[in-house]
A and B are shown apart, each in its own frame.
Chain A
Amino acid sequence: MTRHVPALSRRALLAYGAGAAGTAALIGASRPVRAQAPVTLVNVSYDPTRELYRFLNEAFARHWREKTGQQVTIRTSHGGSGRQARSVIDGLEADVVTLALGGDIDAIVENGGKIAPNWQSRLPNNASPYTSTIVLLVRKGNPKRIRDWDDLVKPGISVITPNPKTSGGARWNYLAAWAYELARSNGDAAKAKDFIAALFKNVPVLDTGARGATTTFVQRNLGDVLIAWENEAYLSVQEFGADKFDIITPSLSILAEPPVAVVDQVVDKRGTRAVAQAYLEFLYTPEAQKIIARNFYRPINPEAADPADIARFPQLKLVTIDQQFGGWGKAHKEHFADGASFDQIYRPGAATR
């Protein structure tokens, strides 16, 4: 493609554009803007954020109307993180994605390039406005006396966790257990591998998603312990009564950083970049951080949250995916890709019955 516009005049145009935008912003600040046409945003998210985004969307719509006078409706879709990423790759028009792990957003970058490669540096804190971790949910009174990860490999303990091949949450679970054994054995990867193999020997069912695993544990009454997102564990307790389950926080777990990103190709096509960007930036504001903490996600700015909400989160040692596993790309290759460490647990005839 040839460029007919000389660079200089392009720059001039850009400057003019920026100036115009600035003027508009000034006018906007000085008097209420005339109502613009309502806009819709599509947020493609993962499974356990249903409740969280319901509240965040309401708050943002209110905030945006006060700021610009424009009415914004946000539709959020939920599902397994990997599957949601694939829908976006296959053409689902999402303005923003808010997924369970960076690897899924990287996949959107690599398959079709709908998101710019530098997405993780465009927002604070690795583009994660909230974090979570992995905890253990046990039956009320903890009849099997489960205190920490090493209790999960004991004979006779039945562990429920979803399939890491199909569930983002399950990958966090897997890596948290791996990191625990690595720490305990002073970095012996072979020991960590045996530990994971022993743990999965105790898993009678591999559900395809985090919500499915929760259902198996909570409603089908299967298993002694569920490895779960911290927010899912709290939701289960809230939903089914504190008289049924206890949450056990292990001595060490992994810091899950669910990232968010604007889908560049879609917002440029639909002309929604400004509002999509504002939506994601809003997630970092004190107002949103407060909502985040109330919905059992750990805010990155705890000062903004209600102290009572913060008090619910026990302190524990947290490793990060970048420090411990060298980022998602490497972790995926070593653990979850075809024939990697997870596949090696299951060999012909290795299944226990």
Chain B
Amino acid sequence: MTAAALPALGLPRRRPSALPGFGPTLGFALAYLSLIVLIPLSVLVWRASGLGVSGLVAVAASPRVRAALETSFYLSLAAAALNAVAGLVVAWVLTRYRFPGRAILDAMVDLPFALPTAVAGIALAAIYATNGWVGALVNDLFGIRIAFTPSGIFVALVFIGLPFVVRTVQPVLADLDREVEEASATLGASRAQTILRVILPALVPAVLTGFALAFARAVGEYGSVIFIAGNMPFVSEIAPLLIIVQLEEFNYVGATAIAVVMLAISFTSLLAINLVQAWCLRRYGHV
């Protein structure tokens, strides 16, 4: 749509921007997003619409689906939270220090992106099972089983979520002026004060973005979880598995219903995270 067409639609006329090409790029962006995101998702909603809202609520409220949804969302939140902290530390090390092997370490962060999830799942299950070396160690020391329990799901979700936080925080950290830190030091702030009141506030929006991405990815994760979860109903069953089960039954409506419920919860959560981010930006100024 061109700028000339806008008044005809009753839209206020834009002031011409210094940067040309708004019309074509907006058009492209909308068309592209529709094709890739909106149309597939609307088909999903449309397929589930046979149930109606009451049907969707009934699906979400059935005890087993609810247990699986809780497992998926709570563990995803916990894994994303751990990744927010751990990812921040990893990003800090990779941007602030120079040491041998840094490039290799940096490349390793992306591995969870690159590995087929099934491979990740099999590898994790092998290591964390009671006969795997980490699993055996933890079992001997604390008597805790990791693989085939909810802890196993948590481990897999932490694994796949790590790169998101590291990769969103890294560029912001690299751009952070050293002078700001130096200024805070010359004004008599301790190192801890500098970190808490100067560096962290600047990083919060990036960490939140990484957190949101890791969380969203973890909620829908299937491949790496399925091998380590144990998949016991009401204990370690994830929502995506229930979707697969419905598909095995050739029950497409039931499958899409669970998917739509997950989508709604994810969207709400992401929206909430974005609002927190906007609030942070207002509070701490632009980053």
CA distance A82 to B244 in the complex (A): 10
- Report whether A337 and B249 are in contact in the complex, using a CB–CB cutoff of 8 Å: yes
CA distance A205 to B146 in the complex (A): 12
- Report whether B245 and A351 are in contact in the complex, using a CB–CB cutoff of 8 Å: no
Interface 1/0 per residue, A191-220 and B, CB below 8 Å: 000000000000011111000100100011
The answer, yes or no, to whether A240 is at the interface (CB within 8 Å) is no
- Report whether A166 and B129 are in contact in the complex, using a CB–CB cutoff of 8 Å: no
> Of residues 27 to 73 in B, which have CB atoms within 8 Å of A's CB atoms?
63-64, 67
Which residues on A sit within 8 Å (CB–CB) of B249? 165, 336-338
| Residue from B234, B244, B250 within 8 A of A107 (CB atoms) | B250
The answer, yes or no, to whether B226 is at the interface (CB within 8 Å) is yes
- Report whether B231 and A348 are in contact in the complex, using a CB–CB cutoff of 8 Å: no
CA distance A82 to B130 in the complex (A): 31
Most buried by B among A107, A111, A222: A222
- Report whether B232 and A86 are in contact in the complex, using a CB–CB cutoff of 8 Å: no
Which residues on A sit within 8 Å (CB–CB) of B234? 346-351
Which residues on A sit within 8 Å (CB–CB) of B268? none
The answer, yes or no, to whether A269 is at the interface (CB within 8 Å) is no
- Report whether A220 and B126 are in contact in the complex, using a CB–CB cutoff of 8 Å: yes
Closest to A111 in B: B250
The answer, yes or no, to whether B235 is at the interface (CB within 8 Å) is yes
Which residues on B sit within 8 Å (CB–CB) of A83? 247-248
| Residue from A212, A219, A349 within 8 A of B126 (CB atoms) | A219
> Of residues 207 to 247 in B, which have CB atoms within 8 Å of A's CB atoms?
226-227, 230-235, 241, 244-245, 247
- Report whether B232 and A351 are in contact in the complex, using a CB–CB cutoff of 8 Å: yes
- Report whether A222 and B129 are in contact in the complex, using a CB–CB cutoff of 8 Å: yes
Interface 1/0 per residue, A137-163 and B, CB below 8 Å: 000000000000000000000000001
| Residue from A86, A219, A346, A353 within 8 A of B64 (CB atoms) | A346
Q: Quick one: given A219-B126, A222-B130, are A165 and B232 in contact (CB under 8 Å)?
A: no
The answer, yes or no, to whether A121 is at the interface (CB within 8 Å) is no
- Report whether A86 and B129 are in contact in the complex, using a CB–CB cutoff of 8 Å: no
The answer, yes or no, to whether B161 is at the interface (CB within 8 Å) is no
Q: Quick one: given A220-B129, A222-B130, A349-B234, are A208 and B148 in contact (CB under 8 Å)?
A: no
- Report whether A206 and B230 are in contact in the complex, using a CB–CB cutoff of 8 Å: yes
- Report whether A221 and B131 are in contact in the complex, using a CB–CB cutoff of 8 Å: yes
CA distance A288 to B221 in the complex (A): 42
| Residue from B125, B226, B233 within 8 A of A351 (CB atoms) | B233
Closest to A165 in B: B245
Which residues on A sit within 8 Å (CB–CB) of B227? 212
CA distance A284 to B122 in the complex (A): 38
Chain B nearest CB: distance from A137 CB in Å?
A: 17
Number of A-B contacts (CB under 8 A): 75
Q: Quick one: given A166-B245, A338-B254, are A206 and B129 in contact (CB under 8 Å)?
A: no
Interface 1/0 per residue, B113-131 and A, CB below 8 Å: 0000000001001100111
Q: Quick one: given A208-B226, A208-B241, A220-B147, are A86 and B231 in contact (CB under 8 Å)?
A: no
- Report whether B247 and A86 are in contact in the complex, using a CB–CB cutoff of 8 Å: yes
- Report whether B248 and A166 are in contact in the complex, using a CB–CB cutoff of 8 Å: yes
Which residues on B sit within 8 Å (CB–CB) of A208? 226, 231, 241, 244
Which residues on B sit within 8 Å (CB–CB) of A336? 249
> Of residues 205 to 261 in A, which have CB atoms within 8 Å of B's CB atoms?
205-208, 212, 215, 219-222
Which residues on A sit within 8 Å (CB–CB) of B67? 348
Closest to B64 in A: A346
Closest to B233 in A: A346
> Of residues 313 to 353 in A, which have CB atoms within 8 Å of B's CB atoms?
336-338, 343, 346-351, 353
Report 19 cross-chain contacts, Cβ distance below 8 Å, ordered by A residue. A86-B247, A89-B250, A110-B250, A165-B249, A166-B241, A204-B148, A205-B231, A207-B231, A208-B226, A212-B227, A219-B126, A220-B129, A220-B147, A221-B130, A222-B148, A347-B63, A348-B63, A348-B67, A350-B234
Other A-B contacts than A219-B126, A220-B129, A220-B131, 20 sampled, CB-CB below 8 A, are A80-B248, A89-B250, A163-B231, A163-B245, A165-B248, A166-B241, A166-B245, A206-B233, A207-B231, A208-B244, A215-B122, A221-B131, A222-B129, A336-B249, A338-B254, A346-B64, A346-B233, A347-B63, A351-B232, A351-B234
Q: Which residues of B are at the interface with A, using a C-beta cutoff of 8 A?
A: 63-64, 67, 122, 125-126, 129-132, 147-148, 226-227, 230-235, 241, 244-245, 247-251, 254
| Cβ-closest 9 pairs across A and B | A346-B233, A221-B131, A82-B248, A220-B129, A206-B231, A165-B245, A205-B230, A348-B63, A205-B148
Q: Which residues of A are at the interface with B, using a C-beta cutoff of 8 A?
A: 80, 82-83, 86, 89, 107, 110-111, 163, 165-166, 204-208, 212, 215, 219-222, 336-338, 343, 346-351, 353
